[in-house]
Amino acid sequence: MSKSLTRVTRALADHGLQITPLEMGDQTRTAQQAADAAGCALDQIAKSVIFAGQDSGRAILFVTAGGNQVDAVKASRVAGEPLGKADAALIRAQTGFAIGGVAPIGHLSPITAFFDPRLLDFAEIWAAAGTPRHIFAIAPQVLLQISGAQAADFTA
């Protein structure tokens, strides 16, 4: 098991959850690929989108519904600082994940996170589990709680 997948599995267990991430036959790098693999609606995919805080230099996580796009102006307002594109090196260094497998939990360092309320419309959502081939199902309210994210309006 990869270090990334192990961290996600451990984070779930540390919160008392008995959730086993599933390995998909196809890649789940995009929200559409993940929805197709899970057999769910696109908006049931919890995308982890990372931006770089321009003042803090830290990675900032936006967990959004698969069909939604993060609005840069709204996201900057929510984050309290201007945001820019996070490069692969920043994402890997601060979260421990590679692009395409960033999970909403199990990061190497604590991360500021915001959560798209659209995800709360579902009984079950799916999120990346640390690799481009692993995802896990979870109740959105539970993911909101264990991720330490704050529900906020940041989508276009």
| Total-model pTM | 0.96
Per the CB < 8 A criterion, the answer to whether 143 and 128 are in contact is no
Question: How would residue 25 be classed by pLDDT, with cut points 50, 70 and 90?
Answer: confident
Mean pLDDT, residues 90-104: 95
At 29 the pLDDT is 84
Instruction: Retrieve residue 57's tokens.
Output: 């230099």
Nearest 10 degrees: Cα torsion 124, 128, 133, 139 = -20
Per residue in 109-128, pLDDT (tens digit) is 999 999 999 999 999 999 99
Torsion sign over Cα 100, 106, 110, 112: positive
Provide CB contacts within 8 A for 31, sequence distance 6+. Answer: 42, 45, 47, 66, 67
Of 39, 51, 13, 38, residue with least CA distance to 128:
38
What percent of the chain clears pLDDT 70, i.e. is strictly above it? 100
Q: Is the pLDDT of residue 1 over 90?
A: no
Per the prediction, the chain carries an average pLDDT of 96
Look at the domain 3-151 and name its fold. YbaK protein (3.90.960)
Provide CB contacts within 8 A for 92, sequence distance 6+. Answer: 98
At 26 the pLDDT is 79
Q: Which residues pair with 59 in a beta bridge?
A: 52
Provide CB contacts within 8 A for 50, sequence distance 6+. Answer: 59, 60, 61, 62, 86, 90, 91, 95, 102
Q: Is the pLDDT of residue 62 over 90?
A: yes
**What are the residue boundaries of the structural domains of the chain, listed by start?**
3-151
Q: Is the pLDDT of residue 97 over 90?
A: yes
Query: What DSSP character marks residue 21?
Result: P
